[in-house]
Amino acid sequence: MIKKKIFFIVLCINGLFASMGDELVKKALDSGLKPIPTGRELEKLTGLDGISKMQIELGKKLYFDPRISSSNLISCNTCHNLGLGGTDNIPAAIGNKWTMNPMLINSPTVYNSVFNSSQFWDGRSAHLKDQAKGPIQSSAEMNANPKIVIEKIISIPEYVIEFKKAYGNNVKIDFDLIADTIATFEKTLVTPSRYDDFLRGNTKALSKDEQEGLNIFIDKGCVACHNDINLGGTMQLLGVVKEYKFANVGGFKGNADGMVKTPTLRNILETMPYFHNGQYWDIKDAIKEMANIQLGDEISDEDSKKIAIFFESLTGKKPDILYPMLPTQTTNTPKPSF
């Protein structure tokens, strides 16, 4: 009899927890949070619908090929390391001649960047194809002349063959196509997590503590900037209520309107240090600073810890990436310059 009562009580508790979970799912969706879509819907949203595996694999080789840089030392993966959450885990990116970014800008994660409505911290690009051109040409990053990049690619017979297989025998290998092919690979770097399962109705996907953290995250107003599929990726004012504590470190002030791209919170526990100039290493401190300057909320240590626990559910499953064997250059391949 006692065992039956205990069993009944457990069922009631589980039922209550499930009901609360359903309410939280609705609350999250109503607040503008969305799961990563699946199947054909994901392919259409990312622009991968109709894209061949050959194009993706070619893009992966270009992404990992350091010869695209003027020095032959820096690849896209140098700053956006796929083994380090898609970042480099340092406050400011290190580029050409191993110099620090002059404005102390750090490298945003490349994972899930396809869901951003704006690329770069100042939002100057709207899509990955245009974004891919920037670091290649930047003197503070890969420092490469597009003309030389093209010469390098077409001087390597295996690359020419692969471009023809991917795009047809009459393909013109130009800088736009090289950047677009890199972007095609980057579009595959999507990391669904337990959080997405929860938003689709699986209330058991998040623990009780994670659900509590999500509820606080919504109630505090964090979703005003960290929303939609990527929990970020849009342009917002930084320092709405108060000035960011380290606003003068590096001198970056956003775009002409003072807007800064809101970073995605997906895999956030892997992409420290935080903020555009990498001044916070502990996510709980970053949460408190953001609540203070954006919402005017002196958030408690306890609440910041609970939100950080919710962030654990945003660590997603990474795609399996096998480092590619890059094609051999020839005597006609332009030599590196320093």
276 closest CA partner among 126, 117, 123, 133: 123
Report the distance separating Cα 63 and Cα 80, nearest Å. Answer: 10
Active site residue 151: no
The helix (H) or strand (E) run that includes residue 84 is none
CB 71 within 8 Å of CB 97: yes
Distance separating alpha carbons of residues 94 and 102, to the nearest angstrom: 10
Secondary structure class of 46 (helix, strand, coil): helix
Which tokens sit at 282? 């502990």
Residue matched to tokens 């050959």: 54
Rounded to 5°, the CA angle 263-297-118 comes to 20
What is the end-to-end Cα distance of the chain in Å, rounded?
A: 81
Q: Tell me how far apart the alpha carbons of residues 48 and 45 are, in angstroms, rounded to a whole number.
A: 8
d(CA 183, CA 175): 12
Candidates 23, 43, 141, 302; catalytic one: 141
Which residues are the active-site residues? 141
